Amino acid sequence: MITVLQELKVNNVIIGKQFEKTENYEKFLQIVKENKINVKVVVAGNRINIEDNIFIDILWPKIDKKVSENSINNNALVCKLNFDEFKVLFTGDIEQEAEKILVSKYQYNNILKSNILKVAHHGSKTSSTKEFLELVKPEISLIGVGENNTFGHPSNNTLENLKSIGSDIFRTDCNGEISIYTDGKKYSVKEKINTK
């Protein structure tokens, strides 16, 4: 995000409540102040209206329920883009601890259910539990991951969990740049492989 803010003209930033001060967060604060960028801090329960039928619901973090284990990842922003019948769940870098809380909170409704899931934490073995995925029920799962990365992302366990719920998987290391097009009802997925 620091590079984006330094290289592109940004007017507004939406960021989840931060529970820890880090060097990157301090640098972020400095850049937004210097460039007079509007910052909106959001927590679970907030809604961001984009257009009449397009909005983002903030599902996590809760202001009064910080996860202390691996705090930076587990308190990452989780939000759901809603455009008519089309839904996308963005999960940041949350891990099993945060997923368990979301499962507990939303297990009796369809709040997590989404057409598309941005898979948490690059498909790490610490995320994408079966219980969480069964509530999201994504038709398409997107994994942002670098080719031959040193972390071994995505994990085989995560890929198996996604396959077990019948989700089609797109990965940036295999499929390149992934674009989604929708009219709010139907949608299509396009890949753009980077040929070097």
Model pLDDT, residue 195: 57
Local confidence pLDDT in tens for the 196 residues of the chain: 889 998 999 999 999 888 778 898 899 999 999 999 999 999 999 999 999 999 999 999 988 877 878 788 888 999 999 999 999 999 999 999 999 999 999 999 999 999 999 999 888 988 999 999 999 999 999 999 888 778 777 988 999 999 999 999 999 988 899 999 999 999 999 988 765 5
CATH number of the structural domain 43-192: 3.60.15.10
Domains of the chain, residue spans: 1-42, 43-192
Model pLDDT, residue 29: 92
What b/e readout covers 155-172, taking b as 16+ CB neighbours within 10 angstroms? bebbbebbeebebebbbb
Which is nearest to 94 in space by CA: 134, 124, 58, 117?
124
Distance CA 117, CA 133 (A): 9
Distance CA 42, CA 55 (A): 14
Model pLDDT, residue 196: 53
Helices (H), the chain: 2-7, 23-34, 71-74, 96-106, 130-136, 156-164, 172-175
Model pLDDT, residue 194: 66
